[in-house]
A and B are shown apart, each in its own frame.
Chain A
Amino acid sequence: MSELKKYKELALGGNIEKGGTAVDFKTGDWRSSRPVYNPENCIQCLFCWVYCPDSAVILKDGKVAGFNLEHCKGCGICAHECPGKKKVKAIVMEEEVK
């Protein structure tokens, strides 16, 4: 976080006066479990990428390449939606405490 502003320097009513600022907010801080990717079970359907509410699934050349753990909040939606291969999921959630 940059230097804290004084009250007269702030935007009216606490508005954030530009778009796309979610990228500056590290939601990964409060994650209690993380998605773990196993490419062997992945069919590249990209459901995880579509469903992730924080755009935290990283694609490389159109294929899943891992997770942005600064923004992944550990909700587990990707793992829930993942069909995997032969009913074996390509994403499983693991407790952060491990």
Chain B
Amino acid sequence: MQKIILAKTGNEAMALAMKQVNPDVVAAYPITPATEIVQIFSQYVADGEVKTEFVAVESEHSAMSACIGSCAAGARTMTGTSSQGLALMYEMIYIAAGLRLPIVMADVNRALSAPINIHCDHSDSMGCRDAGWVHIFSENAQEAYDSMIQAVRIAEHKDVRLPVMVTTDGFIISHGMERIDTLPDAEVQNFIGKYDPLMHLLDVKKPFTIGAINLTDYYFEHRRAMVDAQNNSLKVIKEVGAEFGKKFDTGYGLIEKYQLDDAEVAIVALGSTCGTAKVVIDQLRAKGVKAGLLKIRVFRPFPTEEIAKALENIKTVAVLDRSDSVGGFGGPVFTEIRSALYGSAKRPQIAGFVYGLGGREIDMEQIEGLFMDLKAGKVKADSVSYLGVRE
């Protein structure tokens, strides 16, 4: 199979994946820096390149509401948003997951106001981490494109049936032009297959109620069932990622280890920072420094066991968080990793670093400095610091 090499920004890559998925419904509202996803997709609709019913709504709350309605009606449904838009969807985000609707959403990670800011951090999507969505990060436009296609399969899998959010980093990926390998439309269609909604509201022969009230007697059981679905998705994400790799050469897992197995010092990161870290690691390795990276691709479900195993032999680990749980002990990635490692026999030394809020640049010198500090034993274990802020 011949891949098609194109120059695409992250937003263009995600819009292209959506076009090739050719969903039944897209309901969306534009927001910086995700605007182009919706804008480009609506052009596909206007040009008749997709059969999608495009619902132009008046807000993101309505966008997710329309997605919930259309998905419940049996339509393969997608949307895209960012930051304040995702925040405005918040109420419906929980409902989409609780009703077990396999909606696929592109989110371009961006800081939340105030102060108002349009640049990248992970606060927006991290704020939804307890909602029940599968939550996938991308290192670059290629991963965003590939994950959007895989997300359809993951969401719709009968053992999962949860909405999936695929994220890129605002401007860094969304507006950065890259060379990406794309697939022919037919290959994408073959990979995702036909959507079987199991039950849908337009099936007049099988009437059912969706969204009924559950009080003290049943709410807890339904949330518990979502935990099973999240756990099931660990396997499904790996299977879908492996199948993608078998067919199209680039496989995907829950995490990615980069020079990690023999590393003495390692960092853990999500998203675009992983790309920068890999370059730094290559340079350090050339100088004999055993540096490594653990990239987390899938934050929900949290791959606890794989992460604990991947890090068990590292002496010192720095966890990078591009969002902060203000008032908590470290950002969400730090707290989860520290918790994952608590039970490991050779518990590594671990420190948390919140960085890059509101799009604050993280450069190679900073990451190199972090590795050197780790190596020199200058990083205090069980501490949380703020990297790149004027203190």
Contacts and interface: CB of A to CB of B under 8 A. Distances in A.
B214 A7 contact: no
A13 B98 contact: yes
Interface in A1-49: 1, 4-8, 10, 12-21
A4 B217 CA distance: 8
Contacts of B212: 14-16
Contact of A21 (B209, B217, B225): B209
B119 interface: no
B210 interface: yes
Interface residues of A, number: 17
A13 B100 CA distance: 5
Given A7-B221, A7-B222, A12 B100 contact: yes
A2 B89 CA distance: 37
B279 interface: no
Given A5-B221, A6-B221, A7-B222, A14 B208 contact: no
A15 B203 CA distance: 14
Interface in B63-119: 98-101
B200 to A, nearest CB: 11
B221 A17 contact: no
B221 A10 contact: yes
Interface residues of B, number: 23
Contact of B222 (A14, A20, A21): A14
Contacts of B295: none
Interface string B201-240: 0000011111110100110111011001000000000000
Given A7-B224, A8-B225, A14 B211 contact: yes
A14 B214 contact: yes
B376 interface: no
B86 to A, nearest CB: 22
Contact of A10 (B98, B99, B225): B225
A18 B208 contact: yes
Given A4-B217, A6-B221, A7-B225, A13 B209 contact: no
Contacts of A1: 217
B161 interface: yes
Given A7-B222, A8-B225, A19 B214 contact: no
A18 B207 contact: yes
Q: Which of A1, A15, A17, A21 has the most CB of B within 10 A?
A: A15
B228 to A, nearest CB: 8
B6 interface: no
Contacts of B206: 17
Contacts of B101: 13
A19 to B, nearest CB: 3
Contacts of A10: 218, 221-222, 225
B186 interface: no
Nearest to B210: A15
A27 B100 CA distance: 27
Given A7-B222, A8-B225, A13 B210 contact: yes
Contacts of B99: 13-14
Contacts of B214: 14
Contacts of A21: 209
B46 interface: no
B199 interface: yes
28 contacts: A1-B217, A6-B221, A7-B222, A7-B228, A8-B225, A8-B228, A10-B221, A12-B100, A12-B161, A12-B198, A12-B199, A12-B225, A13-B100, A13-B161, A14-B98, A14-B210, A14-B212, A14-B214, A14-B222, A15-B209, A15-B210, A15-B212, A17-B206, A18-B207, A18-B208, A19-B207, A19-B208, A21-B209
Kindly list the 6 A-B residue pairs having the minimum CB-CB distance in the complex, ordered from nearest: A19-B207, A13-B100, A7-B221, A16-B209, A13-B99, A7-B224
Given A8-B228, A12-B161, A14-B222, 4 more contacts: A12-B199, A13-B222, A15-B199, A17-B206
Interface of B: 98-101, 161, 198-199, 206-212, 214, 217-218, 220-222, 224-225, 228
